[in-house]
Amino acid sequence: MEARFARIHGHDVAYRTAGDGPVILLVHGIAGSSATWSRVIPELAEHHTVVAPDLLGHGESAKPRGDYSLGAYASGIRDLMAVLGHERATIVGHSLGGGVAMQLAYQFPQLCERLVLVASGGLGKEVNGLLRAVSLPGSEYVLPLLFHRSVRDAAAKVGGFFGRLGLKGGDMAEEVWRSYTALTEVRGQMAFVHTIRSVIDVRGQRVSARDRLYLAADVPTLIVWGARDRIIPVQHAHATHELIPGSKLVVIDDVGHFVPVERPAEFVAALKDFTATTEPFVFDESRLRELLRAT
């Protein structure tokens, strides 16, 4: 699918869409793009309208100097849905996209029919050390050297790059390499740094949804994780499952962080079963007041 573009607030937002039916919106992770979902979109589109945006600062979307917080990303998704005429959707988020999905459900609960968290950020402190390092002061001056095309090309011949991330070859390596090569452009590097610093510091993830997960009690929630995730540990999946009553947990063996890339068939099967066996959430403001007053 070729990218389409929507002009929102003066910036071009790229997205890919396919299919017809209830809407599934797919939100990629940091330094990624809608290409993260390329192996799962065709089958999902058989019975759904699938929308996969490139977040601002990522992929083919504009990379302005601006706000790269979770709240800003959530507002951007809301605006794109409005432009495309989609009133509600099952919101699926991978890694950083999981944090964006939770923020969207929190800020705009009327838009969220279901919530799917895939190796999601924002559910605990622990995160890979390389991402913590990017949050350090001065990293924006190192990245242009690290991601220079000549360094990138040399790293491609060495192969140790993926090992330091705890990754193997194949589809997963291809996804990480796609993200890495996208950061050779300065504006993309700056968006990457600003996004990292909005959610991570040297001690780990500094934004957590755990104290508000009780608000998802009425929202059908699916949690999908790879048992061998070396970016965000699978323990976050189990803890989140306990904190969201009625949530469904799927842990896939011998898989790392990029579940939709490494095991697209198993991911699609879990998502299709989830949407087929749950009723869409309908926001009730009186119920929200009840939950908030009970805390």
User: In whole angstroms, what is the distance from residue 265 CA to residue 284 CA?
Assistant: 35
> Which among 61, 229, 236, 241 is annotated as catalytic?
229
Structure token digits, residue 229: 């995730």
Instruction: Measure Cα distances from 33 to 53, 61, 119, 150, 247 in Å.
Output: 7, 9, 16, 23, 27
95 is catalytic: yes
Q: What is the DSSP letter of 61?
A: S
What tokens appear for 257 in the block?
């962080």
Question: Rg for the chain (alpha carbons), in Å?
Answer: 18
Q: How many CA atoms lie within 13 A of 146 on its CB side?
A: 14
* Ordered DSSP codes for 213-251: GGGGTTS-EEEEEETT-SSS-THHHHHHHHHSTT-EEEE
Residues 141, 47: Cα–Cα separation, whole Å: 46
User: Do 30 and 195 contact (CB within 8 A), yes or no?
Assistant: yes
Number of C-beta neighbours around residue 50 at 10 A: 27
Q: State the angle between helix axes of 139-146 and 186-199 in degrees (0 to 180), rounded to the nearest 10.
A: 140
- Out of 34, 61, 95, 120, the active site residue is 95
Q: What's at 241, amino acid-wise? A: H
- Judge whether 135 counts as a catalytic residue: no
Is 229 among the catalytic positions?
Answer: yes
Q: What residues act catalytically?
A: 95, 229, 257
